């Protein structure tokens, strides 16, 4: 079964850091681009960023709202995706989803999400 | 950035109704358009990619059309499990962007 499972969410103070993980199973993780998408409470979906595969040099793209603060990385040997979040603000409070990108460049598989709350 | 505008933002419909949701892009995106369903308290689920292609396992009651700037999602016969929020999303250029969502409620 193709599956993405996020972890690492929790409560963090403004200005703090947090690292999210996404464990992939049931498919060849190394073949795929992978994205992070977030959803603030009661709001719509917001794209956070992307990491490409090894063939494409693991290059990354970020939303302007997180660029310079968030870093996406991956470890293909562990079938894992990561989101390092620094300098967090209350605006970063959201459920964070790990998403697989298919060969047509669209999202196809979503994780169940992990909640990040930034509050003092 | 490419802005995605959905309409309506919400609608009420009955079981068995045919429902159509529209999505307009602020600039041409070819057919690089996806539709995503989200039920309350659940993770999103991808329904359609390339404007009209169904993701694996998605029932044929869902259909999509359009190209360029104007797109539609149609549910041919609304069932209880279809009551959810639907988002369009463009993947033609960065940053990837979503529409504001259309909440489909029971009449």
pLDDT tens string A30-48: 999 999 999 999 999 999 9
pLDDT tens string A104-113: 889 999 999 9
Q: CB-side exposure of B49: number of CA atoms within 13 Å?
A: 16
Give the CA distances from residue B74 to residues A49, B28, B61, B78, B107, in Å, rounded to whole numbers and listed in that order. Answer: 29, 21, 8, 10, 18
Contact A63, B95 (CB under 8 A): yes
Residue B79: what pLDDT?
A: 95
Residue B107: what pLDDT?
A: 87
Residue A120: what pLDDT?
A: 96
Residue A104: what pLDDT?
A: 82
The pLDDT of A52-67, averaged and rounded, is: 97
pLDDT tens string A62-83: 999 999 999 999 999 999 999 9
Query: Would an 8 Å CB–CB cutoff place A108 in contact with chain B?
Result: yes
CB-based contact B46 A47, cutoff 8 Å: no
pLDDT tens string B18-76: 999 999 999 999 999 999 999 999 999 999 999 999 999 999 999 999 999 999 999 99
Interface test with B, best of A3, A33, A45 (most B CBs within 10 A): A45
Question: Going by DSSP bridges, is the β-strand pair A107-110/A60-62 parallel, antiparallel, or unpaired?
Answer: unpaired
State which H helix or E strand residue B98 sits in. strand B97-98
Q: Which residue of A has its CA nearest to B97?
A: A47
Which residues of chain A make contact with B100, given a CB cutoff of 8 A? 44
* Cβ neighbours around A64 below 10 Å, total: 9
Residue B106: what pLDDT?
A: 87
Residue B53: what pLDDT?
A: 97
Query: Would an 8 Å CB–CB cutoff place A104 in contact with chain B?
Result: yes
Phi then psi for B92, rounded to 5 degrees?
-80, -30
Contact A115, A8 (CB under 8 A): no
């Amino acid at each position: 079964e193709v599956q993405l499972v996020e972890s690492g969410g929790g409560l963090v103070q403004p200005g703090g850091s947090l690292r999210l993980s996404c464990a992939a199973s049931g498919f060849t993780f190394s073949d795929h681009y992978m994205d992070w998408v977030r959803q603030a409470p009661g709001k719509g979906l917001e794209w956070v960023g992307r990491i490409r595969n090894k063939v494409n040099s693991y290059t990354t793209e970020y939303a302007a709202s997180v660029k310079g603060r968030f870093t996406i990385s991956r470890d293909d040997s562990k079938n894992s995706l990561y989101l390092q979040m620094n300098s967090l603000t209350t605006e970063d409070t959201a459920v964070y989803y790990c998403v697989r990108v298919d060969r047509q460049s669209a999202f196809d598989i979503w994780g169940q999400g992990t909640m990040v709350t930034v509050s003092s | 950035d490419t802005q995605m505008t959905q309409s309506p933002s919400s609608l009420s419909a009955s079981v068995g109704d045919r429902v159509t949701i529209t999505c307009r892009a602020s600039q041409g995106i070819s057919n690089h358009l996806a539709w995503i369903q989200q039920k309350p308290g659940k993770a999103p689920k991808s329904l359609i990619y390339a404007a009209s292609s169904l993701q694996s396992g998605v029932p044929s009651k869902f259909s999509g059309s359009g190209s360029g700037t104007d797109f539609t999602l149609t549910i041919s016969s609304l069932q209880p499990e279809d009551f959810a929020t639907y988002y369009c999303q463009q993947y033609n250029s960065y940053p990837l962007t979503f529409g504001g969502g259309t909440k489909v409620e029971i009449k």
